[in-house]
A and B are shown apart, each in its own frame.
Chain A
Amino acid sequence: MDGTTFKIERREFLKLLAGATSGMMLSGYAFNKLTPVGQAYTDWPERIERWVPSVCLQCSGGCGLMARVVDGNVVKLEGNPLHPVNRGRLCPLGHAGLQLVYNPDRIKTPMKRVGGKGSTQWVSIGWDEAINLLAERLGELRERGQPHSLIVLDGRPTGLMGALWERFCQAYGTPNHLPTDEPDGMRIAHRFMQGLDQLFGYDLENANYILSFGCQLLDGWRSPVQLARTYGYLRQERPGPRAKLIQIERRLSPTAARSDEWIPIRPGTEGALALGIAYVLIREELYDRRFIEQYTFGFDDWTDARGQHHKGFRRLVLERYRPENVSAITGVPVDTLIRIAKQFATTRPAVAIGGAEATLHSNGAFNALAIHALNALVGNLDLPGGVLIGEEIPFKRWPPINSDAVAREGRRRPRLDRAEGDAPWLDTLPLEALGERILNGTPYEVQAVFLYASNPVFSTPTSARFAEALERVPLVVSFASFMDESTAYADLILPDHTYLEKWQDGPAPPLSGVPTLGVAQPVIEPLYETRHTGDVILALARRMGETLAAAFPWTDFKEVLMFSVRGCYEARYGRVFSESFEGAFIRQLQERGWWIPQFSSFEAFWEELVKRGGWSGLFHEYGKWGHIFRTPSKRFEFYSQRLKAELEARAERRGQPLDALLEELNITARGDEVFLPHYEPARFAGDESQYPFHLNPFHVLVLNSGSGANLPWMQEIVGLHVHVKWDSWLEIHPETARKLGIADGDWVWVESPYGKVRIRAKLYPGSMPEVVNIPLGLGHTASGRWASGRGVNPYALIGPAADRLGGLPARYATRVKISKA
């Protein structure tokens, strides 16, 4: 057929088509029967609906959930209205839990690496085989007398899973149950000034003045929903004058943006500002004199038992921290400093909070001491609107362990992250230093690494070194739900359930001072061949000989949970979550010392506990002066005798003079000043002339430090204020950008002494001229289809610097240079 005979114009074709179509309609063929039908004959959903209370375990905020389950699938997550942490509310990450549980990239079965170290080939195996394999390998280590060479990297060391790991390590014989969650620098201040190794809460709901030193109150700090609830309450609900929130930070974060005043400050100088504020309080005699006299030590000059004279905090501050000096250090104008100081002193109750921004520096520990000193100056410890020293959840104590000789011997070895021996550090080493130790085989070779809720290859500086370290270890076991950057180095993967598939305790972080325990229960049947890591530990112990088996008298984790919460039942205070009216009445009774048992048996208690989602201690008892100062002086110590004793002991063990140790610890102060809150100049990697900008890797609520990156909904809302989705960005001051010839949206190179990344620049007037900001949590190389290959990981730019006193990673201590790409 040639082209001329079969030539049909478009117009004609349409006519024909119309004719044919009408013909079809005329043919009577049932257009009226053309009913769009949704379901197939076999698809017949019953729509049977249940609401199941549980706890969101994506972050450690401890929010109570109500999961809507239809025909066996969770279709919506809401907050549990009875839960005192979130009162029925939920953050964006909480809602996106659906995309975590039903994520197509979950690890679906246990897997074993094939082809030896370095290969990325795994094969699915059964649970029995997996656990036998692991028991065998761990058994060999014990037989060789090397149980200590197992390390457990635990990203969630609080709560019962942390306790179970610790117990396993104890029975097995390793001292190395090592936390990998982000350290809170304020703990150092609590330890040295009050002798308490715990995190304190803050009674923000009753505070009138909140002075936040870089604390990300609205960006994921501790319990995001509780903080947002408190913010809303302080802004418009609480009667009386509105509380003020002052945010001292190097970036206009959402917290800073929603504060009453944002005070930009040079990175690492937060401690100096706190001391400048202290100067005004002392100079103008605005401090709480009664509290200082009755409950503090080392404020004024003093003489010790040997007749030696010591400098007090007052004299140190008056000599060294005049506002003009502090202003020169911090870049905060003198008038601002004085105004803030006076407001802090006169708007009681006022509270000072230090965040990671202020404490994850080379001088972090001293910044923490300086900030916490402000709370003592206004006498606001364990009072309404102040710092709260909370109670622990009254879990029932587990029976003691009879560990065998091998275990006892193993436990005697030094912990891998402890500073004994070579390092001058006073406390634990940061994670990256741990990687170096594994690589160097010091103080001993590591034979096995467990990764639980921990992804060090993504979230440590110089992560390539950590990856090398994992490659070197003969046995790496991961309990991850996703193939993350660290799990990629695992020899054995034993995937845990996601949080909606398991029993778990969900303790609320310290904030309100009231012990609060949420109970997570399986909302749905496990979707895949995953297993509760707690159950795996128990199964492993049962297969590893009698002494280990005897240490774990429980069949599964649910039993562990039930055993432990019996302590709440027997505590004779507190209550299973209840409606606020009913709760208020019971609380009033308990505050007056009455105890009316709610349940006749533990079984009844348990049933109600699971139905309502948890237990709460109901109220905080203020002013426990006898308990909150566990220092040598039994007072709040401006002059930390504990710090002094520890440093002197360390110097003696190392056979060196104290000053030499201080030199090694990068402490510039000498004499009494060392043990007082003072400002140590922060050190930065990279010379200022070559690397003119500070790098500020900041947290974003929705990325949850990285685990949010594989949830598409989170990627869609990640860079709200700069209009960025699905990518990282560099925030740069518009004037700085103009000088560098960078326009909004340009690609730039960011280079530090440690690495180089290519990223899009966004002009943001909320950046300081000398600081550039990159969000943390993107730039994955694994972890799922939506996370992988999107954006950059600022850890690639950060060096392994740390505060050597407290072992805090100096995450904000890197300088960078910027050039157009």
Chain B
Amino acid sequence: MPRWAMVIDLDKCTGCQACVIACKAENNIPFVSPEQAAMGRTISWMEVIPIVEGEYPRVRVRYIPRPCMQCDNPPCTKVCPVYATFKNEEGLVAQIYPRCIGCRYCTAACPYTVKYFNWYAPQWPEEMRACLNPDVSTRPKGVVEKCTFCHHRLQKAKEKARAEQRELREGDYVPACVQSCPAGAMFFGDLDDPMSTVAQLARSARAFRLLDDLGTEPKVIYLIEGEWYGPRKRA
């Protein structure tokens, strides 16, 4: 059974946010009104977190693209009263909308703040409904949603591989953000396959995981040169 993981090379990231929009387009993520956005209700499964450090003129900005960490030991699933969010056999933390009762316990439990609540039924102008991705449902009001590692792509990739009577190969299944990254800073694959790119990169001396000391065992691995100090307070 593969264990799907993502590697993000922060040394290559330019902070362009292509991953953010690739994700929104792939997963039918609605936009909210400016007023709602001001209340912090923008939904962004993949979000680039900027960290501005230091004082003029020695200022630097780091960009941290943050999808769902797909933790091996996820805090969110433990608090779900209805088994709407759980970790599946392949290590993906699923979010099943029809089961979700909108209690938002998982939203509070997630230390990476990857879970988003639908305060309203998503709204698109009629014209824009035409470009929704048919592989992904649109969420109703009152459920929590989050990054799925584009698992619908996995279902299709598996089916395709089976139809061609072969095993799933590296590169068959890649989430939209990884596919689009202009700087080539994102990688995806099976962490349990020692020969896979992600497994090799995960062994790099540059590798670290966000908030590792919480014991969440995230499957998103970051690479950076030098030591990672963690987000500091903005100057």
Check A-B contact in the complex, CB < 8 A: yes
Please give the residue numbers on chain A whose beta carbons come within 8 Å of chain B beta carbons, in ascending order: 36, 38, 45, 47, 70-71, 73-79, 86, 88-96, 98-99, 101-104, 218, 224-225, 228-229, 231-233, 235-237, 252, 254, 257-258, 262, 264, 527, 701-702, 712-717, 720-721, 723, 725-727, 733-735, 764-769, 790
Could you say which residues of chain A place their CB within 8 Å of the CB of B128? 98-99, 102-104
Q: A123–B17 Cα gap in the complex (Å)?
A: 40
Could you say which residues of chain A place their CB within 8 Å of the CB of B61? 252, 254, 257-258, 721, 766
Given A725-B42, A766-B56, also A95-B21 (CB < 8 A): yes
User: Whose C-beta in chain A lies nearest to the C-beta of B12?
Assistant: A232
B59 touches A90 (CB 8 A): no
Given A91-B18, A99-B128, A229-B184, also A713-B134 (CB < 8 A): no
Q: A115–B111 Cα gap in the complex (Å)?
A: 61
Interface centre among A93, A96, A104, A713 (most CB of B within 10 A): A713
Contact of B16 among A78, A237, A701, A735 (CB under 8 A): A701
Least CB distance, A528 to chain B, in whole angstroms: 10
B180 touches A79 (CB 8 A): yes
Could you say which residues of chain A place their CB within 8 Å of the CB of B113? none
Given A78-B179, A712-B31, also A237-B184 (CB < 8 A): yes
Q: A36–B97 Cα gap in the complex (Å)?
A: 13
Q: A701–B14 Cα gap in the complex (Å)?
A: 11
B55 touches A765 (CB 8 A): yes
Given A94-B18, A725-B34, also A713-B59 (CB < 8 A): no
Interface centre among B20, B131, B132, B181 (most CB of A within 10 A): B131
B56 touches A75 (CB 8 A): no
B127 touches A103 (CB 8 A): yes
Could you say which residues of chain B place their CB within 8 Å of the CB of A231? 12, 14, 183
Least CB distance, A527 to chain B, in whole angstroms: 8
- Since A95-B21, A102-B131 are in contact, a sample of 6 more A-B pairs with Cβ atoms closer than 8 Å, ordered by chain A residue number, is A75-B131, A95-B18, A218-B14, A257-B59, A713-B25, A766-B61
Q: Does B48 contact A (CB under 8 A)?
A: yes
Within 8 A of A (CB), among B123-153: 125-128, 130-134, 137
Could you say which residues of chain B place their CB within 8 Å of the CB of A224? 16, 182
A713 touches B24 (CB 8 A): yes
Contact of B11 among A77, A93, A236, A733 (CB under 8 A): A236
Contact of B127 among A78, A102, A264 (CB under 8 A): A102
Interface of B, helix, strand, loop or mixed by DSSP: mixed
Q: A333–B180 Cα gap in the complex (Å)?
A: 40
Least CB distance, A231 to chain B, in whole angstroms: 6
A-B residue pairs in contact (CB < 8 Å), sample of 17: A45-B134, A75-B134, A96-B21, A228-B16, A232-B183, A236-B9, A714-B21, A716-B31, A716-B37, A716-B44, A720-B48, A720-B50, A726-B38, A727-B34, A735-B56, A765-B55, A790-B34
A92 touches B235 (CB 8 A): no
Q: Does B15 contact A (CB under 8 A)?
A: yes
Q: A224–B15 Cα gap in the complex (Å)?
A: 12
A228 touches B14 (CB 8 A): yes
Q: Does B52 contact A (CB under 8 A)?
A: yes
Contact of B180 among A89, A102, A702, A717 (CB under 8 A): A89
Q: A738–B35 Cα gap in the complex (Å)?
A: 29
A236 touches B12 (CB 8 A): yes
Could you say which residues of chain A place their CB within 8 Å of the CB of B130? 73, 102
Within 8 A of A (CB), among B164-205: 176, 179-185
Given A765-B52, A765-B54, A768-B56, also A75-B132 (CB < 8 A): yes
B56 touches A90 (CB 8 A): no
Q: A77–B133 Cα gap in the complex (Å)?
A: 11
B12 touches A78 (CB 8 A): no
Closest 3 CB pairs of A and B: A232-B183, A228-B182, A257-B61
Q: Does B26 contact A (CB under 8 A)?
A: yes
Q: A254–B9 Cα gap in the complex (Å)?
A: 17
Least CB distance, A125 to chain B, in whole angstroms: 22
Q: A73–B44 Cα gap in the complex (Å)?
A: 24
Could you say which residues of chain B place their CB within 8 Å of the CB of A98? 25, 128, 131
Q: Does B22 contact A (CB under 8 A)?
A: yes
Q: A38–B137 Cα gap in the complex (Å)?
A: 10
B52 touches A721 (CB 8 A): yes
B21 touches A766 (CB 8 A): no
B180 touches A90 (CB 8 A): yes
Q: Does B226 contact A (CB under 8 A)?
A: no
Q: Does B230 contact A (CB under 8 A)?
A: no
B16 touches A90 (CB 8 A): no
A229 touches B44 (CB 8 A): no
Least CB distance, B12 to chain A, in whole angstroms: 4
Least CB distance, B46 to chain A, in whole angstroms: 11
A75 touches B21 (CB 8 A): no
Could you say which residues of chain A place their CB within 8 Å of the CB of B18? 89-92, 94-95, 225, 228
B12 touches A733 (CB 8 A): no
User: Whose C-beta in chain B lies nearest to the C-beta of A230?
Assistant: B183
Contact of A228 among B44, B54, B98, B183 (CB under 8 A): B183
A702 touches B126 (CB 8 A): no
Contact of A232 among B42, B131, B185 (CB under 8 A): B185
User: Whose C-beta in chain A lies nearest to the C-beta of B48?
Assistant: A720
Could you say which residues of chain B place their CB within 8 Å of the CB of A237? 184
Q: A717–B20 Cα gap in the complex (Å)?
A: 9
User: Whose C-beta in chain A lies nearest to the C-beta of B24?
Assistant: A713
Q: A47–B156 Cα gap in the complex (Å)?
A: 14
B183 touches A726 (CB 8 A): no
Q: Does B233 contact A (CB under 8 A)?
A: no
Could you say which residues of chain B place their CB within 8 Å of the CB of A103? 127-128
Q: A99–B21 Cα gap in the complex (Å)?
A: 11
Could you say which residues of chain A place their CB within 8 Å of the CB of B55? 765
Could you say which residues of chain A place their CB within 8 Å of the CB of B232? none
Q: A70–B132 Cα gap in the complex (Å)?
A: 10
Least CB distance, B106 to chain A, in whole angstroms: 22
A74 touches B131 (CB 8 A): yes
Q: A76–B26 Cα gap in the complex (Å)?
A: 7
B31 touches A713 (CB 8 A): yes
Least CB distance, B16 to chain A, in whole angstroms: 6
Given A104-B126, A258-B15, also A90-B22 (CB < 8 A): yes
Q: A89–B135 Cα gap in the complex (Å)?
A: 21
Given A78-B179, A725-B42, also A92-B21 (CB < 8 A): yes
A101 touches B21 (CB 8 A): no
B16 touches A218 (CB 8 A): yes
Could you say which residues of chain A place their CB within 8 Å of the CB of B17? 92, 702, 717, 720
User: Whose C-beta in chain B lies nearest to the C-beta of A63?
Assistant: B182
Could you say which residues of chain B place their CB within 8 Å of the CB of A712? 31
Could you say which residues of chain A place their CB within 8 Å of the CB of B16? 91-92, 218, 224, 228, 254, 701
Q: A224–B37 Cα gap in the complex (Å)?
A: 27
Q: A225–B185 Cα gap in the complex (Å)?
A: 13
Given A94-B18, A228-B14, A701-B16, also A89-B25 (CB < 8 A): no
Q: A720–B21 Cα gap in the complex (Å)?
A: 13
Q: A767–B61 Cα gap in the complex (Å)?
A: 13
A235 touches B12 (CB 8 A): yes
A101 touches B22 (CB 8 A): no
